[in-house]
Each structure stands twice: as structure tokens, then as C-alpha cells.
Amino acid sequence: MIQAIHWFNLMTSPRSTAPSLTGYQRLIIAVLAFLQFTIILDFMVLAPLGAIIMPALKVPPAGFGGLVSVYAFSAGAAGLLAAGFSDRFDRKKLLLFFYLGFIVGTLLCALADSYRFLLIARIVTGLFGGVIGSIVFAITTDLFEYQLRGRVMGIVQAAFAASNVLGLPIGLYLANRWSWHAPFYLIVVTSTAVGILIVLTMRPINAHLRNKPDKSPLHHFVHTVSTPRYLQGFLATVLLATGGFMLLPFSSAYTVNNLGINVGRLPVIYMVTGIFAMGFGPLIGRLSDAIGKFKVFALGCAATIIMVLIYTNLGVTPLKLVILINVLLFLGVSSRMISASALISAVPSPADRGSYMSISSSLQQISGGIAAAVAGVIVKQAPDGVLQHIDILGYVLVASTLLTLIMMYYINRMVEASAGLPTVAASGD
């Protein structure tokens, strides 16, 4: 724990050219990063478990794609329903409510003994867990100035890498040692500890309530979805999700069946990739604050396109080369996500942040769910286990990446043209 706190202090230490972080802000970054770790791990763990769950429950590729997409659809529906209310409550209370539901849903996943039970459990988990990301980003935008958000997003998003370094290898080990249920029990225990930490350390986050317009939830929702500048951000979010959701669900099965890597070596791939991504995440965030968030996003798009084209056209490949390709691919994807999150955070006004983030998260989940379902139809599994048409998914991801680059260019121009970047002051030091 001491080493973890030291790491967060190093990554959040202020530069002379940037605003300073208070001690409370540093603590919030750490808490949000650990929370994101559990949420992301719950979603991510299903992909590498695919090679175990599919034969265990006799699930075909289309059915497994459904397990991924149903989480996204339920999360999207919950986000839309919550959008009108998101700016009307203390964000800490809202976060705890949905986090408790997420823990219950994950426990149901751990108890599932059939495909139908697991499908229902993923729906419950998505209804609650899918909204949490939008609340986290609203909190981040409330408490941190725009000039700091690249750095903050880099650390919070590093939880994605931490789930690879710590969570996925441990989860896969537990799954191989006992059963695929074990990783979900691990997430339940970890999430409970994080929930207690939130209760004890996080102060009320309600400064946005002073800016809340006197509108009904429905009116507030309609206002958010009809604001022209918000529509650009929503469209960019949809495009960001499309390609990744198509490729991610089949990554482990593709690695095992197409690249010829033994399933027992998967933890090594995820761990090494995560170590590099965990180190580069905060650096990418700092770089986006230093040279410009759109510039980093553009570089990330270029790296993603190159590595996706290589990755999706591989045959049997040595383990070391697979690891290298995964590291470079993850670096490109991380550059896009961190810089895009920081840039898009400047789009909504303080009074609309919760609603905007909820709708944005819903659109991301729904579009990702559609993409995962479509991918399940496109991908076919040959009798020898080889997944076919993965290259088509790669081409779709490249196309969506190029379209997103165009959208983010215009969003960047809009942000730069703004007279001032709205922020809500942090409540306390």
C-alpha cells in the first residue's frame, strides 16, 4: 500500500508550468483509479475467460458475443434513464448507489451455473456498472482544471492497464486453478474494500448543484441531447467504441486458436502488456497536457491503425512477437482514449456534466454492444478452432479510427475557440 501511494504521488507531482494538485485531489485520484480498476476488470475479465467459458457452457462465438453485448446494452439503457437525474444529486451518493448494485451483479456472475444465469447476471452488472464510468468522469471534470485533466485521465485510465498487470493474470490463474467463477469472487471482495474506502475518504461532491437549472429530469435530458455542440462529442464517443468492442471479445480465443499460443501463456501476455501500459498511461496524460490533447490523439490513431492491420492479419506467431505487438497496440489505444477523454471533458457546461457524461457513456455502451453483436455474426469458428474473418474486424476498426480523428479535429477547434473552460472548484484542499 505504501508503494502504491508513493507511485501515485510521483505520477501526480505538479510541474512548474501546470496548476498544483492539492492533497485531497491526489487522494481522490487514487480512489477513483482503484474504483476504475474493479469496473474495468469486471468487463475485461470476460474476454480472456472466453477460451474457458465457451467450452464449459457450450457457448458458440455468437453467444459469447452476446454476453459482452448484453452488458453494453443494459449499461446504455441505465445511462439514458439516469441522465436526467445525474446532475440533481451529490455525485458521491450517486456513485455509491450504483457501485453497490455493481457488486451485487458481479456476485451473481460468480454464482452463475448456466449460460442463461450468466446472461442475466451480466445484465444486472451492466445496469449499475455501466453508469459508474460517467460518474467518475463527471467527478474528475468537477474537481480538476482542464490543464490537469490529461494527467488525471492518464492515471485513472492506468487502471485499465493495472487490470491487465494484476487482475487478469490473477483471475486467469484462479480460473485455471479452480473454475471461471473464481475471478468474479475476487472482484466482489476487492470492490467491497473500495466501496468502504469511498465512504471513508471522499467528501460530498455537490458544488454543481448551485448551477443546476430549475428543470424536470426529462427537460434536462432533452436539453442535453439537443445542444448542438454536445452532439459532436456524442458522435465521437460512438465512433471511439465501435472498433474496440468488435475486436476485444475475441482477443483471447484469437490468440489461442489463430496465433498458436497456449492458453496457459495468456497471463504472461496480459501482464507484460499491462506493465508497459501502466507506465505509459500517466506519461501519455502529461504529454497531452504539454503538447496538446488532439496531437496526442492523432499520434495514437496512427499507431492504432498500423498495429491493428498487423495484428488482425497474423498467423501462428512466436510468443515474444505476440507480446510486442500487443504492447504497441495497447499503447496506441491508450493514447487515443486518454487524450480523447481529457479533450471531450471540456465540451459540457458544469450544470450539464452529469447528464452529458451519462448519455455519452450510454451511447458508448450501446454502440459497443451493437458492434460486439455484429462481430459475433461476422466471426466464424472453423472445426479446428481457428477464428475466421478477424481481418474484417480490423478493417472496420481502422475505418472508425479515421472517422473519429476527423470528429476530434472539429471538437478540438471548438474547445480552443471557447472563451473559457468551465470548471467547478474542488470542495476543500
Burial tier of 237 (Cβ tally within 10 Å: 0-12, 13-18, 19+)? buried
The mean pLDDT of 240-256, rounded to a whole number, is 78
Tens-place pLDDT, residues 81-105: 777 777 777 889 989 999 999 999 9
- Whether the model clears a pTM of 0.85, i.e. scores above it, the answer is no
Cα separation of 416 and 322, whole Å? 40
Task: Give yes or no for a contact between 194 and 414, defined as CB atoms under 8 angstroms apart.
Answer: no
Closest CA to 202 of 52, 30, 5: 30
Residue 381: alpha-carbon gap to chain centroid: 28
User: Using 50, 70 and 90 to split pLDDT, how confident is the model at 309?
Assistant: very high
- Give the DSSP letter of residue 60: -
Residue 25 in grid coordinates: 485531489
Cα separation of 371 and 271, whole Å? 27
Q: Looking at 266-421, which runs of residues are DSSP E strands?
A: 380-381, 387-388
Least confident of 13-22, 166-175, 336-345, 407-416: 13-22
Which domains are delineated in the chain?
23-207+218-417 (1.20.1250.20)
Query: Helix, strand or coil for residue 127?
Result: helix
- Angstrom CA distances, 386 to 64, 155, 165, 260, stand at 16, 37, 27, 10
Task: Give yes or no for a contact between 50 and 249, defined as CB atoms under 8 angstroms apart.
Answer: yes
Query: Helix, strand or coil for residue 387?
Result: strand
The mean pLDDT of 34-55, rounded to a whole number, is 78
